[in-house]
A and B are shown apart, each in its own frame.
Chain A
Amino acid sequence: MSDRIAIVDGIRTPFCKAGTDLKGFSAQKLGSLVIRELLDRSSIDGNLVDEVIMGCVANPVEAANVARVAALMGGLPERSRAYTVSRNCASGFESATSAYEKITSGFDEVVIAGGTESMTNIPLIYNEHMTRLFAGLMRSKTALQKLKTILSFRPHFLKPIVGVVCGLSDPVCGLNMGQTAENIAKQCGITREQQDEFALTSHNKALAHRDKLADEIMAVPVEPKYESVCDTDNGPRQGQSLEALAKLKPYFDRKSGTVTVGNACPITDGASALLMMKESKAEELGLPPLGFVKSYSYEGLSPTVMGLGPVYAISTVLKKSGMELDQMSFVEINEAFAAQVLGCVQLIESDHFAKKELGRDKAIGRLELDRLNVNGGAIALGHPVGVTGNRLILTALKELHRRGDQHALVSLCIGGGQGGAIILERAS
């Protein structure tokens, strides 16, 4: 067997809804926490780490190349290297697949691949009028010019651009992510009730499997006051009910929509990291791997239905690896929106779609709901955009160990119209 790419260990912070427990942590600080903890748990010498690759969608303005800042803060030697990647919602995948490529090519031997995101701290931005006014002020030389520039001020100049809202919109198709989910609901005929029910299941599963997830989570003393310690995801809602979900107004299409904040994922803070190297290197260092990346793929599609990306990516990754969907112990389709996951399931099982879009003569396979997102998904746990992909890998590998099964498939839809999928293999 060829030298497989191993994931030796992984760790993540709790995922916390934006503006809650982790609000005092910058993205670089969150990143440094998981890097440091991963180094300590695996007791690996920092000098052995060639590269840190971090996914981050909203790279903080004060930390250009947040991966490098986090790496140094995490105590890695100055000689180590680091870069940040963004494939929007799959940035946490991208860091791992980039690591795969770097290690396969022999460019790096040991890589920390992770993701970090502080959606709390995505700033408000001055609009173009205000920006122009500031630029004008800087250019003005005389007091009179300055005064003139200042007098051009109008109150609407102060209306900020909300970074988070902006980031969650696609400029090419002009839709925000919620609107693309509405498109899928319409196209696939997914009702509000189905979506709410799916959301409720996600919460219930996440609550039921808290102790399992605890295995991958590090405790974080809450800065800056250190009065409490955060050690669980705070998204899963105890006592969530269909009635409560039904009360919520559609958020993106007020009149005839079905997507609500209850059946979509919340914006979230968190970080995650994986320690990756060749199987042979892990053996040399005496580190037993968690598992291996067997195969992966990314596929593009129309940005207006970006939520269906996983269908394409899953089809491709199965073909590439020569495997079938029923060989997977379980499947993760990241829950950006309930509508989008249910749409994916429908199309994965559709012969018609397979023929028309995927170049297959019949459907990809059957995806029973009890094999889907077995420990709950982003609707309950939250979706720190640059991190989630990384968490899916980590959670899946730990779950394979708990089950003693061999393979799992994890996938994500990607804002801007892409899908990503990875097949993971447990180390025996």
Chain B
Amino acid sequence: MSYFKQTIDGDIGTLEFDTPDSSVNILSSAALTELEQQLDEIAGRSDIKVLLITSAKKSIFIAGADIKEIESITDPQEASEKCNRGKQVFDKLEKLPQITVAVINGACLGGGYELSLACTYRVAGFAGCVKIGLPEVRLGILPGFGGCVRLPKLIGIGNALSVILPGKVLDANRALTLGMVDRLFYDPILVEQAKTFGRAVLSKKEKVHRRRKTLITKLLEGNPVGRSILFSQARKSVMKSTAGHYPAPLVALDTIKSLVGKSQAEALRLESEGFGKLGASEISKNLIHVFYLDEQYKKKKWNDAEPTLTHVKKAGVVGAGVMGGGIAQLLAKNNVICRIKDLNNQALALALKTARDVYKYLLKTRRMKKGQVEAQMSLISPTTTYDGFKNADVVIEAVVERMDIKKQVFKELDEVVQPSACLFTNTSSLSVTEMAQCTSRQDRVCGFHFFNPVHRMPLLEIIATEKTSEQTIATAVAFARQLGKMVIVVKDKEGFIVNRILLPYMNEAAYLFQEGVDTKHLDDIVKRFGMPMGPMELADEVGIDVGYHVAHILEGAYGNRMRIAEILKTVYEAGMLGKKSGEGFYIHAGKHKTVSSNVQNMRGNTVFTLDDDVTLKRLVYIMINEASRCLEEGVVESASTIDVGMIYGTGFPPFRGGLLRYADSVGVKHIVSDLKNFQDRFDQHRFEPSQLLLSMAETNDTFYPS
């Protein structure tokens, strides 16, 4: 196998990375070995004065180290050794007698950028495909090929932390501003310009001036006191964004801190040590698992059909509530013309306000200019009639969750919208099949379930009825991806999957609340597990009326095991609807919230005796149990789809690898025995293990092949 091709042009040698039979370049062990040989050879070449490292792949320089190799690491020693191997090679690169230039034509991530760091200079193109950064932390590891050592030296400790700790990926311009690259050149003539640059540097006609340190950075980074402030600030910010669930940024932080002032060799050794702590950890394995899921589901083909249209230009939206407004904003943001209908202009004005509020944030953070916001907002045109729906490419229904109204809307849409267009419903739990039956195009109707807030929640649940055609699904999937959403396709059964799994958990939280648990304590237990929000906070956020309504539908469909906790009804009937009414399980005042004693008093006098472990198990296992039923009934085709749904739809902690991956790690057998125990202690119906779980427990089976 030959990964590298060497050419020479005058004084300038070029080492072109071109992984055979692949569209990407990855620093696998084999590629590293060959690189080392090449470098050994080049070190002795006196005819080469400047060495360019380039890529033959379109829009990819080097995508990083081989994740599969990292995934297979089982102990810290092995992890450190893997690191050392890369370091050895990059060390040779750094010590070459020649001037070396990394010519970055596209993705330059992780190990790829660490290779660039070992070069004398880094130049890049301007194109959007140029992405530079060290995202290792996102996979639960740290930059282990010298990135933690060389980047702080290049751009300063503070800047390096701001790149490494969040695992940031930057575009060319930002990378230039930070000093991560030295020059930007025009993409079509990138290599030629890099050669010209190489010659100019060689003849000393051109000098690269790295950013001078500002007074502030000198004060912060130049002495131990300043540095300790810097590191403690960085730690605070990591804790704030990760709640301490993710060890990688913390270990990276400690590593970078520990290697200040050390010799290069010692520093590199410390870095490998840090990597060793993380490389074999379960969290890293889980994050890699989620990374693969992400890659897979972004592109997953759900069937063999081709979409009827690949790019939606105009969409109709019916219903200008919170969801309608959010959907309108998302459409406009993606340059899709949006005609939005409601019964009266006041509702439409509110929807426009909802959309505008999302843009406010983008304006404030200067991600968009005023004129751009104006232009996108102008794509949303409100109406009280069906004018303009006739030629919509697709229509999304987002009216109130009542079957009679939805049916009426579908009947009307079927009459006005061009026959070829698909009709989607944003229902969260009602039967899509029943709505479709009101139309003469049942094959072109499916569920298109956004999560609230629409612009922030990445998941979109597409619901196929028995009659939905494969083409319609393909169209819906393409449209969802056009809007930047992660898609899962599921069957039409009450609650689909995300709400069907989440609602029993919220309901169980309400039972626990009834039994006397402190509101905030309950939320804290769940957050410690890693959920972004506790169930009580979530109930308030979603709206207790909305939650109650969905719970009602699910109780109707699934009976006793989803019987609504009394307290939800009481709170709902008292008109405490959560954040929107100012009081639910919490009292909301601006951004602050305090536990509502009114609601706590509604449950009578009880003393809560359960320990945190049992409390958490009741909440999580009830979800696992329901998820297994979704699988058993064929509502969803695989465990990974459920995990994708729960991670992107509810924020289920990625470091746990997903709900069912977590179940695997606990062991189905243990879960079943706990569920049986809970059946006896708390409720026969709610905790009754599914047939699937029972049989899995018997055969010691797992959801994912082990």
Contact = CB atoms under 8 A, between A and B. Distances in A.
28 contacts: A26-B374, A28-B374, A29-B374, A36-B337, A36-B378, A36-B381, A40-B383, A43-B387, A43-B388, A43-B391, A45-B391, A46-B337, A62-B371, A73-B374, A73-B375, A73-B378, A75-B314, A219-B382, A219-B384, A221-B345, A221-B382, A224-B356, A226-B349, A226-B353, A227-B349, A229-B345, A229-B346, A231-B345
Contacts of A40: 339, 381, 383, 387-388
Nearest to B388: A40
Instruction: Kindly name the residue among A26, A32, A45 whose own CB sees the greatest number of chain B CB atoms within 10 A.
Output: A32
B contacts with A: majority SS: mixed
Contact of A226 (B350, B388, B390): B350
Interface string A38-72: 01110111100000000000000010000000001
A224 B381 CA distance: 15
Contacts of A219: 345, 382, 384
Given A40-B387, A43-B388, A43-B391, A72 B375 contact: yes
Given A43-B391, A229-B345, A231-B345, A29 B378 contact: yes
Given A29-B374, A32-B375, A32-B378, 5 more contacts: A33-B381, A73-B379, A219-B384, A225-B353, A226-B352
B148 interface: no
Interface in A68-85: 72-75
A105 interface: no
A11 B375 CA distance: 20
B421 to A, nearest CB: 12
B375 A221 contact: no
Interface in A366-402: none
A74 B350 contact: no
Interface in B378-400: 378-379, 381-384, 387-388, 390-391
B684 to A, nearest CB: 51
Given A43-B391, A73-B374, A226-B356, A37 B349 contact: no
Interface in B193-226: none
Nearest to B354: A226
Interface residues of B, number: 25
Contacts of A36: 337, 378-379, 381
Contacts of A62: 371
A226 B388 CA distance: 22
Nearest to B382: A221
Interface in A98-127: none
Interface of A: 26, 28-29, 32-33, 36-37, 39-41, 43-46, 62, 72-75, 219, 221-229, 231
A228 B374 contact: no
Contacts of B356: 223-224, 226
Contacts of A72: 375
A342 B314 CA distance: 49
B378 A74 contact: yes
Contacts of A41: 387-388
3 A-B pairs with least C-beta separation? A40-B388, A221-B349, A73-B378
B381 A229 contact: no
B387 A75 contact: no
Nearest to A29: B374
Interface in B143-197: none
A44 B352 CA distance: 24
A196 to B, nearest CB: 36
B554 interface: no
B445 interface: no
The listed residue with most B CB atoms (<10 A of its CB), out of A26, A28, A219, A228, is: A219
B695 to A, nearest CB: 55
Contacts of B374: 26, 28-29, 73
Contacts of A226: 349-350, 352-353, 356
B624 interface: no
A41 to B, nearest CB: 5
A45 B349 CA distance: 26
Contacts of B348: 221, 229
Contact of A43 (B313, B381, B384, B390): B390
A223 B380 CA distance: 13
Contacts of B314: 75
A29 B345 CA distance: 19
B214 to A, nearest CB: 24
Nearest to A228: B349
Interface in B59-95: none
Contacts of A33: 378, 381
Nearest to B380: A36
Residue of B352, B371, B378, B383 ringed by the most chain A CB atoms within 10 A: B378
A201 B348 CA distance: 36
Interface in B299-353: 313-314, 337, 339, 345-346, 348-350, 352-353
From A44, A45, A73, A226, name the one whose CB has the most chain B CB atoms within 10 angstroms: A226
